[in-house]
Structure 1
Amino acid sequence: MSFESDLRDLGDPSKRLSATQLVNFSELDAIEAARFAEVWPSLPDARRLRAIEAFMELAEDNVDLNFDAVFKLALRDDSSAVRAAAVRGLEEYEARDLIAVLIDILRNDPDASVRRESAVALGRYALAAELDQLAAEDGAQVREALMEAAENVEEDERVRARAIEALGAMSGEDTDNLIESVYQEESLWLKVGAVDAIGRSCNTAWLPTVLHELENRAPEMRHAAAYAAGEIGEEEAVAPLKRLAVEDPDREVQLAAVRALGVIGGRRAKVALKSILYEGDDDLRDAVQDAMSEIEFGEDPLRQP
């Protein structure tokens, strides 16, 4: 079928689009993108959202498909749900032309959920800047926008939390001071964001804080602390993570603890994982085996599975 025919079907809510048709919207050229932009606004909100979600699913299943032109168009959609989904759809996009767009969304989008997704997306560029894979000017703009959002007490708490988490990848005294400041806030979401930032920093100086939060009453915080413990990578965290994997009442926290042990690696982590197989829930078996495989790969990347 032709592009125009598929486009007409896309614009007709009564028609169900097949994966074969949707694939034809991959790698749109300039003329096709312009035609797509003409039709797109006329679709009902629900159909636009479903289309974006379908494009995301297809791209996840097939790395050769590229719907970036569609996702970029949808960043300015009238529907906040579509805009948020479009930001997520660009999670593999690394070109610098998206930085200014994401910063503008973070600062000006009227919907907090979209601003939150933008902060998460800017985290990719924050990490690239830390690894010297981004121009200094671009890195400075990313840092400024994330710090501005994280420090803004008028901003939605979850947006601030995601901003400080993203900023955690960018080392520096100003980042450490901001993490400490946000961590002292009363809001659970902000505290969790600060601990997520600690994990992204991989800074061993924060380990006492992380170990303390493994005992927090809130499962969201224990989950964040488990992740952070894994990223920091110190064997001091092995025993409390093992205890969390076996005893925690929250399944997601248990799984986070098991994954963290796989990231830490080493003999003590392997012993802890074997203990979890005997002491823990059978439902953790697959996660434990994945963690063991990660450790073995780290020890010998050329080892045959």
Structure 2
Amino acid sequence: MVNRLTSALEALPDRKGSPSAEQLEAFSGLGREGLRQFQEAWQGLEPACRRRYIKNLTEAAQDDVQLDFDGVFRLCLSDPDPEVRVQAIEALWENRDGSLLRPLMGLLHDASAEVRAAAAASLSCYVDLLELGRLPSPRGEALKAALLGLVKDDNETIEVRRRALESIAGLEQEDVREFIALAYRAPERQMRVSAVYAMGRNLADSWQPMILAELHSAEPEFRYEAARAAGEMGLAEAVPRLIRLTEDPDRQVQLAAIWSLGQVGGEEAKGTLRACAEGTDAGRREAAEEALAEIAFRENPLNPLLNIA
């Protein structure tokens, strides 16, 4: 292991193409000493090289779930280059380790707006833990205050504010709902789009009329978010419109509607999904098959295959 790590570290500055799978694997599961050696070598690389390498590590981890580069990604949260910091945040997206909460919250004050936005978005999983009562109160309250502080900060960029809103929307609390309602009336289009997303994440019944209305929006981005929100909330009233949206001019809206029909279920939804699954469009077929499988599981979790036909 030491020899392999040493060899991989020596190859880090190599700019002649992508690293080999073996070189990347050498950085999986590094202990304290291995991470110290990695950091020492990493600091000597040019920013462009570090960006390229962390992208390689991220892609390798996505292809092989056995690989664990989280130690490396944690180090990269403090990289001097903002693009590397953003990539590190995104690479740690599925990690809900409590020890990550403090550094991620620290990045809410990063000099780079892109880093702040990425950090705000990544904290959504900790908001979910807070809503479930699985995040200790002092840290949970600090998290809520930090995200709401960003949402309220008129001097902050729209991108950071909207990502903070989307994350905090997971709390089913009255003050959070008030901020979602304010965002829905905001003059900035992107804040309104995020408000529709937040409605689906927040799950309050009071959002249903707005979601149903946005399914008819002239703007595809609003239709897309409304379709996703309808699925998140399981709105049976949305099924007729969702069926029509499976033929929307916008491809992403089509796929969102198909996904949502799988979340809502019912005979009408299944009929439309079967038709999509028998079509010639490979992307729509795959999405419809996954949606039908979701319905089957919900109807018979012990043997979902019985309900697909």
Q: TM-score when scaled to structure 1?
A: 0.94
Q: Judge conservation of contact 1:13–1:44 (CA < 8 Å) in 2.
A: no
Q: Which residue of 2 aligns with 1:20?
A: 22
Q: Judge conservation of contact 2:18–2:56 (CA < 8 Å) in 1.
A: no
- What is the CA deviation profile of residues 177-222 of structure 1, one whole-angstrom value per residue up to 9, with x for unaligned ones? 0100111101111011111111111222201100111122221111
Instruction: Give the distance between the partners of 2:44 and 2:141, measured in 1 at CA.
Output: 39
Say whether residues 1:265 and 2:250 are aligned partners.
no
Instruction: Map 1:1-305; keep pairs closer than 5 Å.
Output: 1-14=3-16, 16-106=18-108, 108-246=109-247, 248-274=248-274, 276=276, 284-303=284-303, 305=305
Residues 214 and 279 of structure 1: is their aligned pair in 2 closer, same or farther, counting only changes over 3 Å? Answer: farther
SS in 1 for 2:123: helix
- CA displacement at 1:131 relative to structure 2: 1.2
- What is the CA deviation profile of residues 125-183 of structure 1, one whole-angstrom value per residue up to 9, with x for unaligned ones? 00111112211222212111111111111111111111111111111110000100111
SS in 1 for 2:43: helix
Which of 164-173 and 53-62 deviates more? 53-62
Question: Any stretches of 5+ residues in structure 2 without a counterpart?
Answer: none
Q: Judge conservation of contact 1:239–1:272 (CA < 8 Å) in 2.
A: no
SS in 1 for 2:97: coil
Q: Judge conservation of contact 2:4–2:23 (CA < 8 Å) in 1.
A: no
Instruction: Give the distance between the partners of 1:304 and 1:251, measured in 2 at CA.
Output: 28
- CA displacement at 1:124 relative to structure 2: 0.5
Q: Judge conservation of contact 1:182–1:190 (CA < 8 Å) in 2.
A: yes
- What is the CA deviation profile of residues 267-291 of structure 1, one whole-angstrom value per residue up to 9, with x for unaligned ones? 3322343455689967522211221
Instruction: Give the distance between the partners of 2:283 and 2:17, measured in 1 at CA.
Output: 41
Identity of aligned residues (%): 38
SS in 1 for 2:10: helix
- What is the CA deviation profile of residues 54-93 of structure 1, one whole-angstrom value per residue up to 9, with x for unaligned ones? 1111211222211111111111112211110000110121
Q: Judge conservation of contact 2:215–2:226 (CA < 8 Å) in 1.
A: yes
Please tell me the residue identity of whatever aligns with 1:4: T
Instruction: Give the distance between the partners of 1:172 and 1:137, measured in 2 at CA.
Output: 17
Q: TM-score when scaled to structure 2?
A: 0.93
Residues 281 and 31 of structure 1: is their aligned pair in 2 closer, same or farther, counting only changes over 3 Å? Answer: closer
Instruction: Give the distance between the partners of 2:255 and 2:201, measured in 1 at CA.
Output: 19
Q: Judge conservation of contact 1:7–1:36 (CA < 8 Å) in 2.
A: yes
Q: Judge conservation of contact 2:293–2:304 (CA < 8 Å) in 1.
A: no
- What is the CA deviation profile of residues 35-68 of structure 1, one whole-angstrom value per residue up to 9, with x for unaligned ones? 1111112112222112111111121122221111
Residues 17 and 270 of structure 1: is their aligned pair in 2 closer, same or farther, counting only changes over 3 Å? Answer: same
Number of residues paired by the alignment? 303
Instruction: Give the distance between the partners of 1:280 and 1:191, measured in 2 at CA.
Output: 35
Which of 173-182 and 39-48 deviates more? 39-48
Residues 16 and 283 of structure 1: is their aligned pair in 2 closer, same or farther, counting only changes over 3 Å? Answer: closer
Q: Judge conservation of contact 2:147–2:168 (CA < 8 Å) in 1.
A: yes
Please tell me the residue identity of whatever aligns with 2:91: G
Instruction: Give the distance between the partners of 1:6 and 1:279, measured in 2 at CA.
Output: 48
Q: Judge conservation of contact 1:183–1:190 (CA < 8 Å) in 2.
A: yes
Please tell me the residue identity of whatever aligns with 1:84: V
Q: Judge conservation of contact 1:259–1:287 (CA < 8 Å) in 2.
A: yes
Instruction: Give the distance between the partners of 1:103 and 1:263, measured in 2 at CA.
Output: 32
Instruction: Give the distance between the partners of 1:44 and 1:120, measured in 2 at CA.
Output: 28
Instruction: Give the distance between the partners of 1:280 and 1:119, measured in 2 at CA.
Output: 40
Instruction: Give the distance between the partners of 1:155 and 1:280, measured in 2 at CA.
Output: 46
Q: Judge conservation of contact 1:242–1:276 (CA < 8 Å) in 2.
A: no
Please tell me the residue identity of whatever aligns with 2:37: R
